[in-house]
A and B are shown apart, each in its own frame.
Chain A
């Protein structure tokens, strides 16, 4: 039990060692040789090395983060408080919170927020459920298991553009395979792109198709770290496979599930490529009634198509704040889950 936990934690702590002092480093320095003399130049160099080196090693990331994330983030905040047009970046006038007020009173913003949420739910939930089921199946001894696992990853490896193009053709209103298939069940042709739920379902299906295998692989990795003796003792107790899955696999998988939920939620909040390409020529509108316009698309439409950079920046910051809230909720949930265990 403890062994397996360590195994699971191993990759995590390896990559997430940033906070705190890396234990290995200090130990290594201490062990490398006793300081020759308290005041000697060599020992000062040693001490300096011990103190400064870690900063030098982590610096590249933080410098890049500053240049490509922090500065743009703050600059976007600055823009969001101004009236700025893409065609006149040098003519900015102070707008205060106008852009945000404008946003909060805009139907398009609330609509995009709602769409982001609904598409997020109908893509994330089935996706993760399917992934866990698939992972469970793949966890059995299968002939050619590597082949199955690689196949699982192929949707993830295809580009969004290629995948969406195929799906757009499948969902075509006139002559698409899906409508052709439905007609055998007496269902008339659905205009997938223009109907409300239809279009959201279509966009979600692209997301599900692309990411299920990826999540399944993560679950599979976690499942393989569950000690076999747990299953063996469960089997001895007379648990069938379904009971084993429910009472052994699922509880052991809890941290992994939480991780995938967080990652998928962030992904869903930023959903952009699939609806944009699904919309075809004027994709940034997300349909004639904005029925699948997500926050990402609304941001793109305002900023790069219409050219209202100030408002687009306000949308960007709103999205950022929403993600912070989601992260906070997740943190709370994690804590609560941790306590109950």
Chain B
């Protein structure tokens, strides 16, 4: 009797200890997930500037913080990295509106820049006065500028698009492998790119498909359209936008013809697809170059090549803004200005392949030597800078991102993975967007 009680108490204690440990573990896990801070200071600077970023910005990796601290011994810099954008942005929004807790410099993703421009402009310092705004590509600057001419953030990288393709698979399928001839073959229209895909599928090497996913083709095609989901006046026009319609129809012809590997980008299986070489092409913004090299590994070396995309398109890119709540506004402006200057953007490109938004940096751009070799000595910088200069100005809307994911993650996915008809997919997306817009 006695022993059984004591044993049960011991078990209870064991359970309690386990629960506590788990709570601690969970605490650590979530910490590293959304707030692992990276202190790179340590040289006794008097003013500590914090930079809030998401994902990998490459400033740390390219040694820019250290360089800046060497130039300015009274400054030390601390970067607060949040891995995921969908965790990062709501956090920034609430802090901006609370007027406290923001970093001295906050990064803003291109999908959120319109929301920032239209709803948070008064919470950011006008940086247009402190820099030579003509350094930036016109469309990049326009995205971060309010109607009355206030520039709330400075452009960092952009995502000019190309097509990355597996030369070896193209050869096996009996297709053209020369990057210039290929580019000429699909120039001007994503539908022509789909036609190449149809040819590929006729003799496709076993176990391979032409593209990774229909959504990636959709994003690539939409990235070159003049109009996305909103018009210039901020009205939702997604269901009559010609850009959306043509991108949708291209995506549908990919989804319904079996030329897609039906993967979801940035999911684990997608990474495995790179490693196993199961798809022959992927629409690659400049920032994806490094990703492909890393995920494809040794087996892809010299097999990947890069050709110009059918239309000049942009996908992704970011901005740096200085919140008015920053305690060291002057120093923060100087740092933001320095980080986004052409020379620094070129350094980030050399390390991280994030493509500069300042054209004066283009002539001197040098990709890492192993990257060039990896992509069959393709003139990567030429291809991307040519694309960058002809990208149309796109107007993003406040709910651009949720609308986009409604189309790709619901509409396209239903057609691609569940065999629904394009009309059913469109209706599903429409329903979803109704929910997003709250109407």
Chain A interface (Cβ < 8 Å from any Cβ of B): 3-4, 7, 10-11, 85-90, 102, 106-108, 149-150, 153, 156-157, 159-162, 165, 168-169, 172-175, 191, 194, 214, 217-218, 220-222, 224-228, 280-282, 284-285, 288-289, 304-308, 311
Q: Besides the contacts A217-B11, A288-B410, what 14 more A-B pairs have beta carbons closer than 8 Å?
A: A87-B398, A107-B431, A149-B11, A157-B18, A161-B29, A169-B268, A173-B262, A280-B264, A280-B267, A281-B409, A282-B264, A289-B428, A305-B402, A306-B399
Which has the most chain B C-beta neighbours within 10 Å: A173, A221, A285?
A221
Complex Cα–Cα for A3 and B1 (A)? 9
Question: Which residue of chain A is the closest to B5 with respect to CB atoms?
Answer: A7
Complex Cα–Cα for A59 and B158 (A)? 54
Q: Which 5 A-B pairs have the closest CB atoms?
A: A288-B413, A282-B409, A221-B11, A280-B267, A87-B119
Complex Cα–Cα for A138 and B124 (A)? 62
Whether B29 contacts A157 by the Cβ 8 Å rule is no
**A16 → B minimal CB distance (Å):** 14
Query: How many of chain B's residues touch chain A, expressed as a range?
Result: 35 or more
Whether A88 contacts B9 by the Cβ 8 Å rule is no
Which has the most chain A C-beta neighbours within 10 Å: B12, B15, B408, B435?
B435
Which has the most chain B C-beta neighbours within 10 Å: A175, A284, A305, A307?
A307
Whether B409 contacts A285 by the Cβ 8 Å rule is yes
Does residue B131 face the partner (Cβ distance < 8 Å to A)? no
| A86-B93, A169-B268, A308-B438 as given contacts; A224 in contact with B7, CB under 8 Å | yes
Whether B8 contacts A108 by the Cβ 8 Å rule is no
**Chain B hits for A169, CB < 8 A:** 268
CB within 8 A of A306: which of B14, B268, B402, B408? B402
Does residue B368 face the partner (Cβ distance < 8 Å to A)? no
| B interface majority secondary structure | helix
**Chain B hits for A214, CB < 8 A:** 15
Does residue B417 face the partner (Cβ distance < 8 Å to A)? yes
**Chain A hits for B269, CB < 8 A:** 172-175
**A9 → B minimal CB distance (Å):** 11
Complex Cα–Cα for A149 and B7 (A)? 13
Question: Which residue of chain A is the closest to B439 with respect to CB atoms?
Answer: A102
Whether B266 contacts A281 by the Cβ 8 Å rule is yes
**B101 → A minimal CB distance (Å):** 14
Please name 6 pairs of A and B residues whose Cβ atoms are closer than 8 Å in the assembled complex, sorted by A.
A87-B115, A162-B29, A217-B14, A282-B409, A306-B436, A308-B438
CB within 8 A of B11: which of A3, A86, A220? A220
**A115 → B minimal CB distance (Å):** 16
Complex Cα–Cα for A278 and B1 (A)? 46
Complex Cα–Cα for A149 and B18 (A)? 11
| A175-B272, A281-B264 as given contacts; A159 in contact with B438, CB under 8 Å | no
**A116 → B minimal CB distance (Å):** 18
CB within 8 A of A108: which of B401, B413, B435? B435
Question: Which residue of chain A is the closest to B18 with respect to CB atoms?
Answer: A153
Does residue B56 face the partner (Cβ distance < 8 Å to A)? no
| Residues 392-439 of B at the A interface (beta carbon under 8 Å) | 398-399, 401-402, 405, 408-410, 413-414, 417-418, 428, 431, 435-436, 438
CB within 8 A of A285: which of B26, B97, B410? B410
| A224-B4, A280-B264 as given contacts; A102 in contact with B410, CB under 8 Å | no
**Chain B hits for A11, CB < 8 A:** 9, 12
Question: Which residue of chain B is the closest to A226 with respect to CB atoms?
Answer: B4
| Residues 137-188 of B at the A interface (beta carbon under 8 Å) | none
Question: Which residue of chain A is the closest to B266 with respect to CB atoms?
Answer: A281
Question: Which residue of chain B is the closest to A301 with respect to CB atoms?
Answer: B402
Complex Cα–Cα for A128 and B243 (A)? 53
Whether B11 contacts A194 by the Cβ 8 Å rule is no
Whether A228 contacts B4 by the Cβ 8 Å rule is yes
Does residue B370 face the partner (Cβ distance < 8 Å to A)? no
**Chain B hits for A224, CB < 8 A:** 4, 7-8, 11
| A173-B269, A305-B402, A307-B399 as given contacts; A221 in contact with B12, CB under 8 Å | yes
Does residue B256 face the partner (Cβ distance < 8 Å to A)? no
